[in-house]
């Protein structure tokens, strides 16, 4: 059936726009004739426009039409209060109308006054980090660590659970450990870009702890040696090296003192000692102090004799043999090992070097410098004297021939 009365050709399309953007609602009418179109805000029944005229005093409201059948309501820089139903009305008798909805969405924003600032706690205490955000639709909150590490939570049954993120406004951590220390991100999102985040730093305080990887260090005279201490501490501490004489060691031509951080609460204390002398040997203490306590580690530095040089000498008639050429300050303790009548000296290292004598009686051949033995020292001395007598006897015999 063909009608000649004004009628709506299409329903009004709902519109969704972000806050502060412009919106347009369109009303399409056929056979309007001499009738007029009006736009109203449904909830307040406020008349906004009539035909081509703007009635409201709201300067953000405009109207337009294409000269044919489309009548538009424009709202510039929309606000949240603009959200709602709008009515397009034809002044027929009775009046005809239809509705369209304007949705105004708001990207998330952090409520700084209701969100945790940087927090400092003592190790073993509990802490709660809170994050609030506004936006439309209501934003969801996710907590995660900035460094990408997992968050360690303690459950009601005292078991630990590691998670990548926590989907809640409040991040509750009981019995805080130093591994919890770091920066946490509160991320708010609601599907309307952009998402926003806030950094909250969790500072965990505890007294210093020192671990010494090598408590006994050996080095030869005249060389350079490096001593190390591993420190865990928070907040930051005063750190120094001290000799067993009580003297605090500082940077100079003799010493170099450095601190190398490995994490935000771990670092390595190093002491380099140059041109070692006898007076340099002894105990060195690494000391760390902060407001919660003090810790100390000890490293004992001992003289380390360089092993002797290995020499192989052929014995000829009428010649003298040089069994070893010792480096300076080098000494050996001899202990016999009953294997091919070879003598092994006792030494502080596991390095094996040998001095061999050739051209002697095969039943008494060889003096080797090598790994320590567990034989009796006094017996070693006696056997060494016997071996020496045999060597000298053979040499005398060779000279007499």
Residue 179's pLDDT band (cuts 50, 70, 90):
very high
77 and 115 part of one domain: no
11 and 96 part of one domain: yes
> Does the residue 240 lie in any domain?
yes
Tens digits of residue pLDDT in 267-320: 999 999 999 999 999 999 999 999 999 999 999 999 987 665 544 444 455 554
Tens digits of residue pLDDT in 82-122: 999 999 999 999 999 999 999 999 999 999 999 999 999 99
DSSP characters over 220-279: -TTS-EEEEEEEEEES--EEEEEETTSPEE-SSSSEEEEEEESSSSEEEEEEEE-S--GG
> Does the residue 382 lie in any domain?
no
201 and 181 part of one domain: yes
239 and 279 part of one domain: yes
The boundaries of the domain holding residue 139 are 111-205
pTM of the predicted protein model: 0.67
Tens digits of residue pLDDT in 136-162: 999 999 999 999 999 999 887 778 999
143 and 171 part of one domain: yes
How many beta carbons lie within 10 A of that of residue 336, not counting itself? 21
**CA angle, corner 242, sides to 288 and 232, nearest 5?**
20
């Amino acid at each position: 059936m063909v009608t000649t009365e004004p009628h709506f050709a299409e329903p009004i399309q709902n519109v969704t726009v972000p806050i502060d953007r412009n919106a347009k609602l369109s009303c399409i009418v056929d056979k309007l004739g001499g009738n007029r179109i009006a736009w109203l805000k449904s909830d307040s029944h406020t008349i906004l426009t009539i035909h081509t005229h703007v009635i409201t005093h709201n300067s953000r409201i405009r109207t337009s039409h294409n000269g044919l059948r489309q009548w538009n309501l424009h709202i510039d820089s929309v606000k949240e209060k603009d959200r709602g139903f709008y009515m397009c009305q034809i002044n027929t008798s009775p009046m005809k109308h239809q509705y369209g909805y304007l949705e105004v969405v708001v990207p998330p924003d952090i409520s700084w006054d209701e969100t945790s600032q940087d927090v400092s706690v003592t190790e073993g205490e509990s802490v709660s980090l809170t994050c609030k955000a506004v936006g439309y639709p209501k934003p969801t909150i996710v907590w995660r660590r900035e460094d990408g590490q997992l968050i360690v939570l303690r459950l009601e049954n005292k078991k630990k659970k590691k998670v990548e993120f926590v989907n809640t406004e409040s991040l509750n951590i009981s019995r805080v450990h130093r591994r919890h220390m770091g920066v946490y991100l509160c991320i708010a999102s609601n599907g309307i870009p952009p998402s926003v985040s806030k950094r909250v730093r969790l500072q965990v305080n505890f007294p210093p702890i020192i671990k010494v990887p090598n408590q006994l260090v050996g080095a030869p005279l005249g060389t350079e040696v490096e001593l190390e201490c591993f420190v865990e501490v928070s907040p930051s501490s005063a750190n120094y090296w001290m000799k067993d004489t009580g003297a605090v060691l500082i940077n100079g031509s003799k010493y170099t003192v450095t601190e190398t951080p490995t994490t935000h609460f771990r670092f390595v204390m190093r002491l380099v000692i140059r041109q070692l002398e006898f007076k340099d040997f002894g105990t060195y203490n690494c000391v760390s102090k902060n407001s919660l306590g003090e810790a100390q580690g000890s490293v004992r530095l001992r003289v380390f004799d360089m092993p002797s040089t290995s020499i192989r000498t052929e014995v000829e008639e009428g010649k003298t043999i040089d069994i070893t050429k010792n480096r300076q300050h080098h000494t050996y303790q001899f202990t016999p090992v009953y294997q091919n009548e070879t003598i092994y000296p006792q030494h502080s290292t596991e390095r094996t070097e040998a001095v061999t004598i050739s051209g002697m009686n095969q039943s008494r051949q060889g003096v080797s410098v090598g790994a320590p033995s567990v034989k009796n020292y006094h017996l070693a001395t006696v056997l060494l004297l016997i071996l020496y007598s045999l060597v000298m006897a053979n040499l005398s015999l060779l000279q007499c021939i």
